[in-house]
Structure 1
């Protein structure tokens, strides 16, 4: 890992826009480490906003956590359109089992910027919670990223 206080020198000419964005993304990602505990909504929202806010279509992701709520992996599982994404509980269960997660946090973005959950968001969350209960995996939250973020757990919907 590079020390942030040391300047970066480029010897092969100016960086492309893509290279600048990659570098900026890696610097921002350093603030989130695998040892972080994601049992508190503020830190979780920051992480998920970083991951999902830039998409122009709906993306459904899952944070796979160990029994101490530390991040094992973050996976983007489903990609949709500007206002919907199809979510398949079977694929979610497969991802959870593949990483041996003890708990999860679901997340998706609303490109419209309005983070309030739709009826479909509430229904799929219930189906996913029910599916994961069968294999003893806790669902800690479902975060919707928009102009602000909405937490199912904070609003008592989980």
Structure 2
């Protein structure tokens, strides 16, 4: 890679043009730093993306899966995971500083980063204060590939314990299809009615997949009025 023109080397390209100008393989190559015999860091990164099929799948891989690949050790896996965790924490901090209505894109990116790549279902609650800033993102339930048991009583209890003024709930579809099922719609209606009893509006129910996102609010399927 050092034989390439400097502007084509990932680090130099990043300095000259900014991170957005780099493709996935080039960004990944910066973390890998070096390739293996006969293969540059960029070529190795391309092989990794091809092996796992997508960037989300690579980010979700276990240490065992990554270290089976020639040239990849536990330190490389750790570096990638640490960088990804920083991204998630940065997005969460933005939500705690600004109203969720001022950064809907950030909400989507945060939820996709938080659970979009998981191989199992999780159910998240975003507890919001009176200014609609994030108090805490809490994982309440975890399930199998196709089902998560959700208990409204637990959701109400946790929201009240945090003095939440509003709530957004979210879960992921590991199958890849973010469209809501009939059970998802029934759960949304049930939660909305239950939360109304304690004056905590349910602002949205988001369904996330590795490459997709569905918002009940955006689809006009619930009332977002906090008053």
Common fold by TM > 0.5: yes
CA distance, structure 2, for counterparts of residue 92 and residue 21 of structure 1: 33
Aligned pair count?
Answer: 145
Structure 1, unmatched stretches of 5+, are 1-13
Larger RCO (CA within 8 A; separation ≥ 6): 1
Structure 2 distance, partners of 1:23, 1:91, is 31
Bigger helix fraction:
2
Q: Which residue of 2 aligns with 1:19?
A: 78
* Number of the residue aligned with 1:80: 143
Q: 1:35 aligns with which of 82, 86, 97?
A: 97
The 3-state SS of whatever aligns with 2:106 is: helix
Deviation at 1:41, TM superposition (A): 3.3
Distance 1:32 1:106 in 2: 15
* Structure exhibiting the larger radius of gyration computed from Cα positions: 2
- Structure 1 segments, 4+ long, off by >4 Å, are none
Q: How does 1:4-153 map to 2 (within 5 A)?
A: 16-17=75-76, 19-28=78-87, 29-33=89-93, 34-39=96-101, 41-146=104-209, 147-153=211-217
TM-score (norm 1): 0.85
Q: Deviations over 1:107-152 (max 9, x none)?
A: 0000011000000000011111111000000111111002210000
Corresponding residue of 1:11: none
Unaligned runs of 5+ in 2: 1-72, 223-227
SS for the counterpart of 2:136 is: strand
- 1:6-32 CA-partner distances (Å, limit 9, x unpaired): xxxxxxxx9724532442133202243
**Normalized against structure 2, the TM-score is what?**
0.60
CA RMSD of aligned residues (A): 1.6
Q: Which shifted more, 27-36 or 129-138?
A: 27-36
More strand by share: 1
Of 120-129 and 26-35, deviating more is: 26-35
